[in-house]
Amino acid sequence: MLSKRNLTILILALALAGGGYYAMSNSGDTESTKHSESDADAHGHENEAKPDHTEGGEHGHGDVDEHAHGEKEEHAHGGTSETGNASGEEEGGHEETKISENAVKNMNIEVLEVGSALVQETISVTGRVTLNQNTAAQVKARFPGVIRSVLKEPGETVKANDTLATVESNDSLQVYPVKSPVAGLVINRNASVGEVAGETPLFVVADVSKLWAELFVFSRDGEKIKAGQKVHIQCLDDDLITQADISVVLPTTEASSQTFVARAVIDNPDNHWRSGMNIRADVVIKEKEVPVAVKTDAIQRLEGNDVIFIQESGGTYKAQPVELGTSDETWTEIKSGLVTGQRYVANNSFVVKAEIGKAGAEHAH
């Protein structure tokens, strides 16, 4: 039997051994827990890093972004380039159009060949139409007296020696006829029955088949204007146009306007021209033959350039930029851009310009 003292010692020894085992067990569990948590953290960080890597942190995302952005940029730039080409074609389309033969006829488009022409250098002046004083007469009574009858009215045509009125002489008390010295038209009447005829003309009679164009020329152009030069005359208030030659240049200058008169004779067989009309005239001071010329009306402005519309095969009309030279109302010299023999729109070229503009607008939309 164990003594009480020995039993006590044994119990204490067992208690100490159990306590040590319990402490060691707790320490292992704690370290295991820490290790597990550490592993979990590490794996967690690895898991967090993997999404970064997958989303492209340095490689994946860069590849995706660069590829996507590159495709977008390439697609966008490629589209712009194609649009640029389309725009270039569009600009080319702006410069040409197709018009059928029937449309050309309906729109009165005239096509001519480029060739040589006589181009005139002119000076533009203004003026007025007057009676031709060489064929006009101011009819007076030969002797003072009382007007007994008036036989003709303004606008009536008379022959030479036709009686216009009768006058009773104050001296002889005889009635005598007042006759027209020229054939022509009664322009003015200043006679009434019962009035006294004296120095004042009773009638003005003129041959209006030939009138005068009096042109007012500035002194600075005096040396350029000479008798015999051609002149193109146009009425400012009507669409009357005619040609004449300068017959005389008057030697005096009008003080207030500092102009002198150059006179031309207008043929007026149909009486369309009337005395008093305001006119504009182009005096031809020089003429020259040019190898390449077009009708002046053919020239149009397109995108800041002077252009001529060239007729090509298949009913195509193309705008051709040109360099202009000497020009008059009918012809214009072409220094570059065209060659002899090319067919161009000479009349109603504005219609072709409108068709090109319309085609360009439709193409743009």
Tell me which CATH code domain 136-206 carries: 2.40.50.100
The 10s digit of each residue's pLDDT in 321-348 is 999 999 988 999 999 999 999 999 999 9
pLDDT of residue 146: 97
- The pTM score is 0.61
Question: What's the pLDDT score for residue 54?
Answer: 40
pLDDT along the chain (365 residues), means of 10: 59 59 47 43 42 41 42 39 34 70 92 95 95 96 96 96 97 96 96 95 97 95 94 94 96 92 96 96 94 96 94 93 92 96 95 84 61
Contact at 8 Å (CB) between 281 and 234?
Answer: yes
List the chain domain ranges: 49-94, 97-117+289-364, 122-130+211-288, 136-206
Rg (CA), the chain: 54
Rounded Cα gap, residues 126 and 214, in angstroms? 9
User: What does the pLDDT read at residue 52?
Assistant: 43
Of the chain, the end-to-end C-alpha distance in Å amounts to 120
- Helix, strand counts (H, E) of the chain: 4, 22
- CB burial of 78-102 (b: ≥16 within 10 Å; e: otherwise) equals eeeeeeeeeeeeeeebbbbbebeee
Residue of 272, 250, 270, 246 whose CA lies nearest to 260? 250
Pairing of strands 323-327, 316-321: unpaired
- Ranges of beta strands (E only) in 237-329 are 241-254, 259-267, 278-295, 300-302, 305-311, 316-321, 323-327
Identify the CATH homologous superfamily for domain 122-130+211-288: Efflux pump adaptor protein, beta barrel domain (2.40.30.170)
Identify the CATH assignment for 97-117+289-364 out of 3.40.190.10, 3.40.50.300, 2.40.420.20, 2.40.30.10: 2.40.420.20
pLDDT in tens, 143-181: 999 999 999 999 999 999 999 999 999 999 999 999 999
pLDDT recorded at residue 143: 96
Residue 247 neighbours by CB under 8 Å, 6+ apart: 227, 263, 264, 265
Angle (deg, nearest 10), helices 349-364 and 60-94: 160
